[in-house]
Amino acid sequence: MTEYVVRFNARQRVEHISVMSLFLLLSITGLPQKFYQAGWAETMIVWMGGIDRVRWVHRAAGILFTLLTFTHLTTAIGLVLTGRSKLTLVPTRQDFVDAIVTLRYYLGMSDLKATFGRFDYRQKFEYWGLVLGAVVVIATGAVLLFPLFVARFLPGEVIPAAKLAHGNEALMALLVVIVWHIYNAHLSPDVFPFDTSMFTGKVSRERMEHEHPLEWAEIQERQQRRRRDVWVK
């Protein structure tokens, strides 16, 4: 029987499935709006029942995405403040060192491999990319949803600028997901064909030792301490 650790709890798994579904829905309804003059975009819009419905779905999904992001961030802050979670996702100096070490390894300049904790620099990059991207699309999306309100406080030019930024930021996010996330979760030789950990929450002992040795060591140390504590009592 393979030994495994539960790396993602139920809340985190539900968050992932939610953000994945909403991201897909927003991409399918948003992309043809950005490239509306292309033939394929027209086909997609007709297929989805016309631009009015596409916009309605996009806005509804956008509001849900906003709620999800808000919930995620407030929960994360809450957990950190109450000491139930550590700042394992915050980039540190070590991440830059790890990135350079990894690049040197890839380039064959050294055989030294970086060892990672709970999240490696690539995962942190993707997480903060998603959070920052979400903040940009939510803010610009809100401008597009409430242009009259925005124009009360800001110059009108903010509205077309928000439109351009919204589409471009979303396009970049989609490309990052297609290129980077699909590679890391599916196509990379390390996980091919499918890294199921984000859905089951479970990661095998072998993978933990290989990919997150520092976290694995910490988990073992914690377990030993607990056993020792039980023994002492």
Partner 1 sequence: MMHSFVLALLLATTTQAPPQGTAAAPDVDTCLSCHSEKAMSKTLPSGETRSLYIDGAVFERSVHGGKLSCVDCHSDMTEIPHASRPFKTRREFTVAYYEACKRCHFANYNKTLDSVHHVAEARGDITAPLCVDCHGSHDVTSPNQPRSRISLMCAKCHQGVQTVYAKSVHGRALFEEKNSDVPVCTDCHRSHDVGGPRAPGWRLRSPEICANCHTNERLMKTYGISTNVMSTFLADFHGMTASMHKTERTDAGVVTALCIDCHGVHDITKTSDKASPVMQANLNKVCQRCHAGAPKNFSAAWLSHYEPTWKKAPLVYAVRVFYAILIPFMIGGLVLQILLHLWRVVVNR
Q: Which is nearer to partner 1, 19 or 171 (CB)?
A: 171
Partner residues linked to 204 by β-bridges: 4
Least separation, in Å, of the C-beta of 154 and partner 1? 7
Least separation, in Å, of the C-beta of 64 and partner 1? 23
Least separation, in Å, of the C-beta of 99 and partner 1? 9
Q: Which is nearer to partner 1, 77 or 175 (CB)?
A: 175
The tokens describing 58, both together, are 């996009």
Positions that interact with partner 1 (CB under 8 A): 33, 36-37, 42, 45-46, 50-52, 103, 105-108, 147-148, 151-152, 154-161, 163-165, 168-169, 171-172, 175-176, 179-180, 183, 188-189
**Which DSSP string do the residues of 166-227 spell out, in sequence order?**
HHHHHHHHHHHIIIIIHIIIIISTTTTT--THHHH-EEEHHHHHHH-HHHHHHHHHHHHHHH
Partner residues linked to 4 by β-bridges: 204
For residue 54, what is the enclosing H or E element? helix 51-81
Q: Which is nearer to partner 1, 105 or 127 (CB)?
A: 105
Closest residue by Cα to residue 3 from 202, 211, 153, 232:
202
Q: Which is nearer to partner 1, 51 or 89 (CB)?
A: 51
